[in-house]
């Protein structure tokens, strides 16, 4: 039956997607940088993507942190503070609303995101796996304790620091004044609980993501491509099971890479239409 659907409809047929969507009981939604970009969240990658003189791949590494924890904390402090000025966009909201609505019908929606900005959470999504961690979580470099942290500023010494312009000077904050662990008797240096370049993904989260993908009967890839990391770790195995995969992004996906459906454009425009209540839904 799945094969017949693939033959019968083109990759951009929204009505065909909606038909499958209306019957899906477990939907996995992989989201990437494009969803955050539509809320104006900077990535510090690619053309113009600089904080001071650096791009993310030069600061978001364990080596950069051990060389200069003050500078790396300034970078993350800036990113946390920027998020106070950003809000979820219609794509985040459509995903959250869909989870809530389908939940009432006994159907499941799970978000697997590479984004670290918590905009899915703020939009109201509950079932979220953050495979690259969160800007608003810390991990102790001594005891390993992880904790949610939404303080602004995260510590007194970082107040007013982290200016992004290239002429800004390093604050050179003494390491004892950077964020420290509050577990009894620890006070180790905290780091952002995000996956840095060169670090492995949390195996626990990967196992949970794979379980979601093994159980899904529809997979959406939103604001990224199913052929690039990290969605490429997941989407092809879903497609290989014969499960429909629908991409919503700005990329030009080569025809040979077409995963059943591709909807081109800003996901804040394409996704609300795709996930709105279907005529067949019982409310
Ligand atoms: Zn600790």
How much of the chain, in percent, has pLDDT values that exceed 70?
94
**Is residue 16 classed as helix, strand or coil in its secondary structure?**
helix
Collect all residues with Cβ–Cβ distance below 8 Å to 233 and sequence separation of at least 6. none
Q: Which residues are part of a known binding site for substrate? A: 76, 79
**Tens-digit pLDDT profile for residues 217-254:** 999 999 998 888 888 889 888 998 999 999 999 987 65
The residues that bridge with 109 in the sheet, in sequence order, are 27
Indicate if the pLDDT at residue 5 is higher than 80.
no
CA 205 to centroid of ligand 1, rounded, Å? 22
Q: Which residues are part of a known binding site for Zn(2+)? A: 140, 143, 181, 186
- Residue 74 near residue 162, CB atoms below 8 Å: yes
**Tens-digit pLDDT profile for residues 147-173:** 999 999 999 999 999 999 999 999 999
Write the CA distances from 131 to 40, 76, 114, 149, 247, integer angstroms.
Answer: 21, 18, 5, 18, 19
CA 175 to centroid of ligand 1, rounded, Å? 15
Could you tell me the maximum CA-CA distance found in the chain, to the nearest angstrom?
A: 65
Q: In this structure, which residues have their CB less than 5 angstroms from ion ligand 1? A: 140, 142-143, 145, 181, 183, 186, 188
CA 136 to centroid of ligand 1, rounded, Å? 17
Distance, CA of 255 to CA of 22 (rounded, Å): 26
**Tens-digit pLDDT profile for residues 31-80:** 999 999 999 999 898 888 999 999 999 999 999 999 999 999 999 999 99
Distance, CA of 231 to CA of 39 (rounded, Å): 20
- Active site amino acids: 132
Closest CA to 29 of 129, 135, 122, 101: 129
Domains in the chain (CATH in brackets) are 1-40+88-132+201-283 (3.40.50.1220), 42-85+133-194 (3.30.1600.10)
Indicate if the pLDDT at residue 9 is higher than 70.
no
**Tens-digit pLDDT profile for residues 97-151:** 999 999 999 999 999 999 999 999 999 999 999 999 999 999 999 999 999 999 9
Residue 47: predicted pLDDT: 81
CA 184 to centroid of ligand 1, rounded, Å? 8
CA 243-32-190 angle, 5° bins: 125
Handedness of CA 124, 125, 126, 130 (dihedral sign): negative
Residue 201: predicted pLDDT: 95
CA 228 to centroid of ligand 1, rounded, Å? 35
**Tens-digit pLDDT profile for residues 187-206:** 999 999 999 999 999 999 99
| pTM attached to this predicted model | 0.93
- Residue 59 near residue 51, CB atoms below 8 Å: yes
Indicate if the pLDDT at residue 258 is higher than 60.
no
**Is residue 185 classed as helix, strand or coil in its secondary structure?**
coil
Residue 231: predicted pLDDT: 86
Collect all residues with Cβ–Cβ distance below 8 Å to 58 and sequence separation of at least 6. 64
């Amino acid at each position: 039956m799945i094969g017949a659907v693939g033959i019968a409809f083109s990759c951009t047929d929204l009505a065909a997607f909606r038909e499958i969507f209306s019957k899906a009981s477990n939907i996995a939604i992989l989201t990437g940088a494009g969803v955050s970009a539509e809320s104006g969240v900077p990535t510090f990658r690619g053309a113009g993507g600089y904080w001071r003189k650096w791009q993310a791949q030069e600061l978001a590494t364990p080596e950069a942190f051990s060389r200069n924890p003050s500078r790396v904390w300034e970078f993350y402090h800036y990113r946390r503070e920027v998020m106070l000025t950003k809000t979820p966009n219609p794509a985040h909201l459509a995903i959250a609303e869909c989870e809530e609505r389908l939940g009432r019908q006994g159907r499941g929606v799970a978000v697997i995101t590479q984004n670290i900005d918590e905009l899915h959470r703020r939009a109201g999504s509950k079932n979220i796996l953050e495979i690259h961690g969160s800007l608003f979580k810390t991990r102790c470099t001594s005891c390993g304790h992880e904790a949610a942290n939404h303080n602004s500023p995260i510590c007194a010494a970082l107040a007013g620091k982290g200016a992004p312009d290239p002429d800004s000077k390093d604050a050179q904050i003494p390491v004892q004044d950077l964020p420290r662990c509050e577990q009894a008797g620890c006070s180790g240096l905290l780091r952002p609980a995000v996956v840095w370049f060169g670090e492995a993904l949390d195996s626990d989260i990967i196992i949970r993501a794979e379980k979601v993908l093994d159980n899904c009967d529809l997979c959406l890839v939103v604001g990224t491509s199913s052929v690039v990391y990290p969605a490429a770790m997941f989407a092809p195995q879903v497609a290989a099971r014969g499960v429909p995969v629908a991409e919503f992004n700005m990329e030009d996906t080569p025809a040979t890479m077409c995963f059943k459906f591709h909807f081109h454009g800003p996901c804040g425009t394409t996704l609300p239409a795709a996930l709105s209540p279907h005529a067949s839904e019982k409310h």
